[in-house]
C-alpha cells in the first residue's frame, strides 16, 4: 500500500514539474515575442521626422565597405535617424557556429573604426538572425536552437567591438531574432544565405528609449 502511495505521489510531482516547465517556457517565449515586436517599433512607429538625405555615417560605411558591397556580402541602408549594416553570416561564422573567423575580424575592424566615432545620443544594436533550419544534433548541448545561435553570434560581435575599439558598452545592445525576421522566404539556399546574418543598427537613443517605454507600459 505504501509503495502505491509513493508511486502516486511521484506521478503527481512529475506532472506538476512538467506543468511548471511548460508554463515557464511559455512565459519566456511571450517575453521574447514582446521584445522582438518592440524592436520592430524602432523602425516604424517611433522614427523621427526624416532628415534631408542619408546621414554622414551612411556614406562613411558605404565608402569603407565598397569591396564587400560589390560582392553582395554586405548591405548598408539608411532610414530617418537610423542606419543599418547587414552582413551575411559566411563572412563571420562557419555554418552552425558562433566563433568569429579571421576574415570576420577584418570586416569588423572597418566597421568599428567608424562606429567608435558616432556622436553622443546614438546607440548601437547588434542583431543575430538565422534561417529556419533546426540546429544539428551534435552541437545542441552548446546551441540548443536558433535563438541561442543568433544571440551567441551577436554577443561575440558586440564583445569584439567593445574590446577592440573601447566602445561604451552602455550604448550597445544585443538581440536574437532567430528565424523570425527573414529578409527573404526560406525556400532556397540563396534566400537562406541572406537570412543568416548579423545586422548592426545605429539609431538615436531617444528612439530606443521610446520603444522601451512602450514595452514597459505593455507589461
The CATH number of 39-218 is which of 3.40.50.300, 3.30.360.10, 3.40.50.880, 3.30.1330.60? 3.30.1330.60
First-last CA distance in the chain: 49
- Looking at residue 140, what is its pLDDT? 52
Reply yes or no on whether the pLDDT at 122 is more than 90: yes
User: Could you tell me the residue ranges of all domains in the chain?
Assistant: 39-218
* Tally of CB atoms within 10 A around 76: 23
**pTM of the entire predicted model:** 0.74
Length of the chain: 219
What pLDDT band is residue 142 in, cutting at 50, 70 and 90? confident
Give the β-pairing of 172-178 and 122-129.
Answer: parallel
Amino acid at each position: 500500500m505504501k509503495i502505491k502511495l509513493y508511486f502516486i505521489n511521484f506521478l503527481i510531482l512529475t506532472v506538476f514539474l512538467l506543468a511548471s516547465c511548460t508554463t515557464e517556457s511559455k512565459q519566456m517565449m511571450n517575453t521574447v515575442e514582446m521584445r522582438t515586436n518592440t524592436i520592430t517599433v524602432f523602425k516604424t512607429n517611433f522614427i523621427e521626422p526624416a532628415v534631408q538625405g542619408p546621414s554622414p555615417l551612411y556614406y562613411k560605411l558605404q565608402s569603407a565597405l565598397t569591396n564587400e558591397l560589390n560582392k553582395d556580402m554586405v548591405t548598408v541602408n539608411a532610414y530617418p535617424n537610423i542606419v543599418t549594416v547587414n552582413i551575411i553570416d559566411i563572412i563571420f561564422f562557419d555554418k552552425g557556429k558562433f566563433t568569429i573567423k579571421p576574415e570576420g575580424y577584418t570586416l569588423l575592424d572597418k566597421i568599428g573604426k567608424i562606429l567608435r566615432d558616432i556622436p553622443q545620443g546614438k546607440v548601437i544594436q547588434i542583431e543575430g538572425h538565422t534561417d529556419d533550419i533546426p540546429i544539428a544534433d551534435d552541437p545542441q548541448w552548446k546551441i540548443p536552437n536558433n535563438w541561442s545561435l543568433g544571440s551567441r553570434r551577436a554577443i561575440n560581435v558586440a564583445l569584439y567591438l567593445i574590446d577592440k575599439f573601447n566602445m561604451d558598452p552602455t550604448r550597445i545592445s544585443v538581440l536574437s531574432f532567430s528565424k523570425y525576421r527573414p529578409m527573404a522566404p526560406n525556400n532556397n539556399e540563396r534566400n537562406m544565405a541572406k537570412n543568416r546574418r548579423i545586422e548592426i543598427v545605429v539609431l538615436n537613443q531617444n528612439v530606443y528609449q521610446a520603444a522601451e517605454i512602450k514595452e514597459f507600459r505593455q507589461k
